[in-house]
């Protein structure tokens, strides 16, 4: 699904009047949305190295100074645009049980990886983060941490519901789940299909599921 077919946010570009007064909340919101939409469109059209602040500003219909009001660099804008897209496409589920929430999360994020991360420009953006410290920092702060917060919430709900053991290492589980996604996508080029999702759920439950309670037998008197 291309970003041009379904924008992250309202795609109406701001007018000059909208960007003239940055203190107006409504106008600032429209400009902010227009910039993120422009950044998302451009990173799907061009390699990361060919996207610049000037191009984002021109596409969004704002001045460069408007972009620098919210972001310090091109990397920060592009990563926030990607994070906004993931947040929209991979929402926090609440279906009443850990397994169903976990399955829903994995299904959405696997679909996103297979459709959006297969785009050469997005893959290039992630590759660039390996040698660009500013981009790597934006990747960690705006994208990775966002996904960890969502998965942590799902795991903590499972503990609260008594479905998962209370002393499991949440950070290790999150590393295992997200690590498998990135490894299969970027290194193995392997499918993120239902069999993979079932396998991840089975492994997490095998090591983290709470033991079923056993009712103590009633002692007969006398």
The CATH number that applies at residue 31 is 1.10.10.60
For residues 55 and 154, membership in a common domain is answered with no
For residues 160 and 56, membership in a common domain is answered with no
Token pair in block for residue 210:
């709470």
Contact 40, 11 (CB under 8 A): no
Whether the predicted pLDDT of 216 surpasses 80: no
Domain that holds residue 126: 83-208
Whether the predicted pLDDT of 11 surpasses 60: no
Contact 103, 201 (CB under 8 A): yes
- Cα separation, 192 vs 116, in Å, equals 13
Q: Concatenated DSSP letters for 207-219?
A: HHBPPPP-PPPPP
Read off the pLDDT of each residue in 196-221 and give the average, rounded to a whole number. 83
Whether the predicted pLDDT of 205 surpasses 90: yes
Share of the chain above pLDDT 70, in %: 80
Whether 2 is covered by a domain: the verdict is no
For residues 25 and 131, membership in a common domain is answered with no
The domain tally of the chain equals: 2
For residues 165 and 106, membership in a common domain is answered with yes
pLDDT of 74-88, one tens digit each?
888 988 898 888 888
For residues 94 and 195, membership in a common domain is answered with yes
For residues 91 and 200, membership in a common domain is answered with yes
For residues 155 and 64, membership in a common domain is answered with no
For residues 96 and 50, membership in a common domain is answered with no
Work out the mean pLDDT of the chain and round it to a whole number.
84
Contact 196, 185 (CB under 8 A): no
For residues 46 and 89, membership in a common domain is answered with no
Whether 193 is covered by a domain: the verdict is yes
CA separation (Å) from 210 to 151, 179, 204?
18, 24, 11
Whether 217 is covered by a domain: the verdict is no
Q: Which of 24, 191, 147, 160 is nearest to 98 (CA)?
A: 160
Higher-pLDDT residue of 169, 212:
169
């Amino acid at each position: 699904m291309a970003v041009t077919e379904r924008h992250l946010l309202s795609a109406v570009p701001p007018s000059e009047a909208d960007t003239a007064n940055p203190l107006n909340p409504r106008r600032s919101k429209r400009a902010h949305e227009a910039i993120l939409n422009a950044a998302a469109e451009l990173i799907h059209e061009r390699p990361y190295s060919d996207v610049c602040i000037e191009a984002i500003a021109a596409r969004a219909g704002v001045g460069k100074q408007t972009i620098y009001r919210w972001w310090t660099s091109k990397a920060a804008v592009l990563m926030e645009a990607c994070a906004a897209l993931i947040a929209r496409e991979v929402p926090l589920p609440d279906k009443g049980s850990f397994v169903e929430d976990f399955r829903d999360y994995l299904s959405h994020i696997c679909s996103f990886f297979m459709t959006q991360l297969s785009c050469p420009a997005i893959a290039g953006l992630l590759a660039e983060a390996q040698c660009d410290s500013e981009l790597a920092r934006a990747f960690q702060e705006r994208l990775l941490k966002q996904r960890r917060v969502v998965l942590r919430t799902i795991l903590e709900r499972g503990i609260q519901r008594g479905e998962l053991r209370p002393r499991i290492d949440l950070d290790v589980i999150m590393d295992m789940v997200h690590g498998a996604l990135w490894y299969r996508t970027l290194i193995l080029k392997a499918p993120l299909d239902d069999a993979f999702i079932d396998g991840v759920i089975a492994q997490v439950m095998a090591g983290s599921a709470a033991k079923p309670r056993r009712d103590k037998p009633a002692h007969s008197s006398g």
